[in-house]
Chains A and B, each alone.
Chain A
């Protein structure tokens, strides 16, 4: 999964209609997993990797098989844009080495394409027609990028135009890196158009811009980050992008790639050497659908992350739909992986939804989205300053932050996120004050110290006693100030320097 929003809708209202569960308690008892069950995971992404870690920790490694499509050992997909930007070494993406899996008895098969699932015989059929039997099947197939219908991107021979790049896998990233890393100025792309103005689109645009490529963004909706933030925040973002040198075209669709460039439906043609497609994705559920499992947007699962049709089949991550939600984010996927590891180990565990915090990772662009600020109902506190490019909004219900969007200013993000995640009940003024600047740190602009203000805490000496001293030596001798930790020495010097003459003994100014 990537940071790209796969149309995320996160409702945590316990009252929202939950679908009836397919399993009865009696059924549950029959379907309790048993030690020795063969666990087969389809997919080798971040959800699968986290699940395997959980299974290994519970001693289930030797009975686990992972069928991963990519050739790389599971890696941290959400950092691909950081790799593109050049702030992250590609080698540092790997979550666990192949040897790690082998050493723990996990059968990790890379480059392994699954053709079909046969639920009647509980086997998975691979592309090479071999089969893998399972007792417990886990679908962690992730999402597929939705490629917008742009004519001219596929050439006559069926291959993709070399100027067009998707951005989802490590291979995509490596290809793109090879393009932008070219040393000779001649064939290095000068201009790039990013199709899609979501989180991933913004990250890729920033990454390419940081590398000195002129970038433009084409977004079909009327503002940037439309799945996460409202129009006014989107407007601030657009201005920020413009300030960073990236032009944004809104409400525009790319229709055709020609020799001249990328043609938009508003009449513009953007001259470009590179088109990167980041227009979101959708759950990859074709296998499940073919196997006759109920699929809405994703594979529908219950609180134990089981398919509602087949207790031997589970789904987690981007391909799963729980309580009407598909997520597209890593943190709920990992939470699901943790719950499922317990379920597969025979422990009591249920998944009850997850609060999503979406965070943009790009240089000079600060965005944090809590929950679903566009749709969540509640009282809204908002502070915006288009001049400085900030827009901050919190949605509060019964004192709790239920959603929010912070654009351009992330001060206090660490406090706000904590309050959101823990659903802390705040005071009446608190949500608003959290959006105001931090109060001045203690001692930042100290006015004239009153005589009873403590200057040296080591020795417990107040300003008055320092003022009564003639010199630093005098201070040391008579008060012991400055002889402990020494932290008060600057303040003491300051006090001695501004000492008023009439304070000295017998009125003899020094």
Chain B
């Protein structure tokens, strides 16, 4: 995206108008992009810190110094009374790299707390965990997005990119023009599915057995790349045997996908030279999300694809800075540079950059859902600082989350509008919007890009970086920088030698090269494509990991006979805190998508309200009757308050990802 002024108006344009070389989206934008400037000047924009009186619930505007003094004093007091872990920090995958880095430092250095995590935990953490286990590294796409056009078969598992990242759908079209095939796997026939040559419609939560069944068929047909498996991987024997139990009819029974469809897909994969398998939230947001991704990685490895040009496995990012946001320290278990917080060497390196004793860096904290669940409990944090997240709308089992927030001694939210979460806070700090600040993001390809400030922020608004520095200063210690480039220089040093090594990247270089791929150690050229010769495990080999299907944490029963799945729609983004406030974007509110067979069963009519219930909560919204969804499944978009009151907070054992994508539900007219 690029910004320009036309008179007093701010215009968002495709980057191609500025720079013809923007391969990920080819300069195309979607409606959310064009409309993104619409929030500027909105009357809902906050321009002064606000403090809420707990007794009366009344808000009053205060000066910045007053707000920051008050927050810092309360944080210090809570730390003195209950220990450092009494204070917690919650970040977001939309924050720039510089903010993510500073937020991690704020928690570990200024607050000394281990309690920091972020909403990215609810986004790509399963793919991240699987990537680390299988390849020894987690970079969403190990190749540029445009490589899609050059593959033979592109399999999208649980991705609706035509709606969630519309410009990327052009790559699919180009692939098909080139004679390639697109396969889409989704419980709903989405606009992405409509572009598919082969569409599989499984029961939510069964992408894993589908992968097991595909590998079964590939092995049965002798389509495994035995040479590649022997040379470049370990662990295949157990995986190969375990899928002998997943013949197509068995998969059909579990997944609801006809065995013939599975055979078609296996045939397509077996005959293709280049196969690209891409997962997204549909496959990942499950209590078995990591295992699901691993099962698809196993398919890619058995076919010998990762490391081959225009082939392999990748994960499609969900948030603007989903990739960078998880590399620089706002994750409970990580230090900058994608380093493990348990690794003594990593702690020593980062401590040296921060100028503190390695022992002063706290250990691993709670993951996002566990952190929110612990708030206000005797053992849990007493305060929470929220940056770039609207947890009341986006967290699973959101009703429970709201009640946990209410149990806090102090809730501070930095946001540009009075989001649903901000409305519950004691202190709200008004911060800049993306166009009003500079910073780097790391896109889904692992390409670090620079977004420069286009306009001045409204009076009274400060950047997150200024807020963080202001709090850090009040909590004692030296002055922290607020200039993004200065912070990036520190981030470079902190990431040096880590898995996500940015030490060779500078603002100047990003400008000159239109983005630089990590890992990029000092003096190197960056790495658009990974794994050509070696994977990132010490022995250079990829790992096959034996996984089995356990099913959803909550299966339908007589009281809740349906599967509920959730997702995004084109005109909205995440919790909708921004997009719902832009009048150019249609906001018709939430809806309940259901098949005519189901509508008839419950007596629902298109457009009329229905009530959806799960064991955790209920919501009311109009029915949207479509033939494109499985009759045993309903879909609710999660941009509005409601959907996440229904979702299940059961967690994946390794990624701690909640099961957003499936739970048992009932619907009534």
A residues engaging B (CB < 8 A)? 50, 75-76, 78-79, 82, 87-89, 92-97, 99-100, 331, 357, 359, 361, 410-411, 413-415, 417-419, 421-427, 429-430, 433-434, 438-443, 457-460, 480, 483-487
Contacts and interface: CB of A to CB of B under 8 A. Distances in A.
B259 interface: yes
A78 B203 CA distance: 25
B474 interface: no
A217 to B, nearest CB: 22
8 contacts: A87-B220, A89-B219, A92-B240, A96-B241, A100-B241, A414-B252, A422-B632, A457-B570
Contact of B30 (A50, A418, A429, A485): A485
Given A429-B600, A460-B571, A441 B189 contact: yes
Given A410-B258, A413-B258, A487-B191, A92 B561 contact: no
Interface string B189-231: 1010011000001110000000000001001111000000000
A431 B166 CA distance: 38
Contact of B561 (A411, A425, A438, A439): A425
Contacts of B466: none
Given A415-B630, A486-B28, A487-B169, A93 B189 contact: no
Given A410-B260, A442-B627, A486 B170 contact: yes
A484 B167 contact: yes
Given A414-B256, A425-B561, A427-B600, A485 B203 contact: no
Give chain A's interface secondary structure class. loop
Interface string B249-280: 11011011111100000000000000000000
B220 A89 contact: yes
Q: Which of A93, A421, A422 has the most B CB atoms < 10 Å from its CB?
A: A422
B229 to A, nearest CB: 14
Contacts of A438: 627
A93 B252 CA distance: 19
Contact of B237 (A97, A443, A457, A486): A97
A75 B189 CA distance: 37
Contact of B252 (A78, A97, A413, A458): A413
B631 interface: yes
B253 A331 contact: yes
A78 B28 CA distance: 52
Contact of A430 (B28, B219, B601): B601
B423 to A, nearest CB: 29
Contacts of B586: 460
Given A419-B632, A441-B189, 13 more contacts: A92-B244, A415-B256, A418-B203, A425-B561, A426-B601, A427-B601, A429-B600, A430-B597, A440-B627, A442-B626, A457-B191, A485-B162, A485-B191
A102 to B, nearest CB: 13
B596 interface: yes
A76 B242 CA distance: 11
Interface residues of B, number: 63
Nearest to A78: B247
A418 B252 contact: no
B31 A424 contact: no
A486 B173 contact: yes
B37 interface: no
Contacts of A50: 245
A418 B597 contact: no
B320 interface: no
Nearest to B191: A487
Contacts of A96: 241-242
A52 to B, nearest CB: 12
B70 interface: no
Interface string B616-644: 00000000001110111000000000000
Nearest to A355: B253
B218 to A, nearest CB: 9
A443 B570 contact: no
Given A427-B601, A441-B189, A487-B162, A460 B632 contact: no
Contacts of B601: 426-427, 430
B173 A487 contact: yes
Nearest to B569: A457
A457 B34 CA distance: 13
Contact of A422 (B31, B170, B561): B561
B615 interface: no
A-B pairs with lowest CB-CB distance, top 6: A427-B601, A485-B166, A414-B256, A485-B169, A359-B249, A88-B220
A87 B221 contact: yes
A100 B14 CA distance: 56
A92 B203 contact: no
Nearest to B168: A485
B556 A415 contact: no
A439 B596 CA distance: 10
B599 to A, nearest CB: 9
B238 interface: yes
Contacts of B631: 415
Contacts of B194: 442-443, 487
Nearest to A416: B256
Contacts of A417: 252-253, 256
B221 A414 contact: no
B545 interface: no
A422 B563 CA distance: 11
Contact of B195 (A97, A429, A439, A487): A487
B294 to A, nearest CB: 18
B222 A359 contact: no
